[in-house]
Structure 1
Amino acid sequence: MKLFRLAAVLAVLAGPAYAQMPNLNLLQDAPSKTPEEKAAEAERDKAYKETLKKIPDSKTSNDPWGGMRSDPPKQPAAPKASAATSAPKKSKSGTAAN
């Protein structure tokens, strides 16, 4: 039982130290690109950006429920300062506060 406790304590103490270790990738994921592949990719990117410029900006709302909504709720009027100070405050029981 003591050995189990010792292993649990070591695992808890080693967790934060393990989390601080850098993630090293010693193997390359893919080989580097040839100059022809780089040129072809640059040409594709340029054509893509030119195509994006041809798309017109949307001026209308795309809200399908826009016609179903009513006017936005109106803000309630602010209470008048003179009416709030002249009226006596009432407690929860309904009697005037002293």
Structure 2
Amino acid sequence: MKLFRMGAVLAVLAGPAFAQEAPHINLLADGPSKTDDEKAADAARDKAYKETLKKIPDAKTSNDPWGGMRADPPKQPAPKAAASSAPRKPKAGTAAN
């Protein structure tokens, strides 16, 4: 029984290796070749396509990868209230040292 299993394993492993060495046969029949008019029409179509591609402007890309995630631009922080640089006067009734 072990011999049968080993033979099955070898057959499974050898199958893909044997298929690589098989002759390559094209089973699809080649279609009829194109006429001179069809070749000229294809060339004109390709030329028109390439000219159209040249007319498309290059898109400017954004450097912000998260730009689509934000709904509105970032808000500027509120300006801080200007604190006076003059020293405070002591309250009445307190002793100054």
The TM-score, its normalising length taken from structure 1, stands at 0.49
Compare CA radii of gyration and give the structure with the larger one: 2
Structure number with greater CO (CA < 8 Å, separation at least 6) is 1
The TM-score, its normalising length taken from structure 2, stands at 0.49
Q: Which has the higher helix share?
A: 1
